[in-house]
Amino acid sequence: MNTDMNKIESDFAQGQTAGNYRRWLYSLILYLLTPLVLLRLFWRAKKLPAYMRHWQHRFGWIQVPEGFQHGIWIHAVSFGETQAAKPLIARLQELYVDTPILITNSTPTGASLAQHTWGESLFQCYAPYDLPSVVNRFIGRTKPRLAIFMETEIWPNQIHQLQQRGVPILLVNARLSEKSAKGYQRFSALTKDTLNKLTLATVQDEADAARFKSLGMADEKIKVTGSIKSDLFIPPSLVEAGHALRATLGAHRPVVIAASTHEGEETLVLSAFKELTKLVPEVLLILVPR
Q: Which domains does the chain have, with CATH numbers?
A: 53-231 (3.40.50.11720), 236-289 (no CATH)
Q: What is the pLDDT of residue 16?
A: 57
Q: Region 230-239: what's the mean pLDDT?
A: 74
**Cβ-contact 167, 187 below 8 angstroms:** no
Condensed to tens digits (0 to 9), the pLDDT of residues 75-118 reads: 999 999 999 999 999 999 999 999 999 999 999 999 999 999 99
**Phi first, then psi: what are they for 123, rounded to 5°?**
-105, 125
Task: Round the CA-based radius of gyration of the chain to a whole number and report it.
Answer: 22
pLDDT above 70 (res 128): yes
How distant, in Å, are the alpha carbons of 52, 77, 150, 204, 231 from that of 83? 23, 10, 10, 16, 11
Output 262 or 202, whichever has higher pLDDT: 202
Q: What is the pLDDT of residue 13?
A: 45
Condensed to tens digits (0 to 9), the pLDDT of residues 23-51 reads: 999 999 999 999 999 999 999 998 889 89
Cα separation, 116 vs 131, in Å, equals 29
Active site residues: 81
Q: Region 7-17: what's the mean pLDDT?
A: 47
pLDDT above 90 (res 121): yes
Cα-based torsion angle of the residue sequence 251, 254, 258, 259 in order, rounded to the nearest 10 degrees: 20
Condensed to tens digits (0 to 9), the pLDDT of residues 239-252 reads: 888 888 888 888 88
Output 264 or 218, whichever has higher pLDDT: 218
pLDDT above 60 (res 5): no
